[in-house]
Amino acid sequence: MEYPVTRVAAKVLSVVDGDSLIVAAQGKRLKVRLACIDAPELSQAPWGISSRAGLRALLPPGSAILLTPLGTDRSGRTVAKVLSERGNIGWLLVRGGQALVYRQNLHRCDRAGFLATEQKAQRQRLGLWGQPPLPLATWERRWCRRQGGGC
């Protein structure tokens, strides 16, 4: 389903993990996945927990945000660009090393900008690029789990 390019005002109810939120928008409760990025799973300790903490620091409950819905994912979540008074939240997470650029889903994102920002965070060894670095990208880990593990 193609979404029109429109912004929807929302309020953060809770942060689920490093790239997912529960928000109130247009009188509804929505599960939102941040577009353009992929954060470590909570089970990927300590990176997933740190990533969630980074998103919570940027968007504590009650934060006013603007969503630009881009579609839905296979879990039924709304995939959206998320803006706050601080800027593009996905980009800020990548800049701080709290999330990876989700290369498989960059078709409606600033590909060059996101990748350059990730490379800078990696060179500076920020967040998940620090000691020890994240061993597997989250999409690789999900693929491995679907194949039966062993990675």
What are the structure tokens assigned to 82, written together? 């998320």
Measure CA 35 to chain center.
6
- 9 Cβ neighbours under 8 A, 6+ residues apart: 25, 64, 65, 66, 67
- 73 Cβ neighbours under 8 A, 6+ residues apart: 33, 79
Active-site entry in 7, 56, 74, 77: 77
Separation of alpha carbons 67 and 25, rounded Å: 9
Alpha helices (H) in 64-137, listed in sequence order:
89-95, 111-123
77 a catalytic residue: yes
Task: Name the DSSP letter for residue 90.
Answer: H
111 a catalytic residue: no
41 a catalytic residue: yes
User: What's the N-to-C CA distance of the chain in angstroms?
Assistant: 34
Active-site entry in 2, 7, 29, 33: 33
Active-site entry in 2, 29, 41, 146: 41
Q: Which residues are catalytic?
A: 33, 41, 77
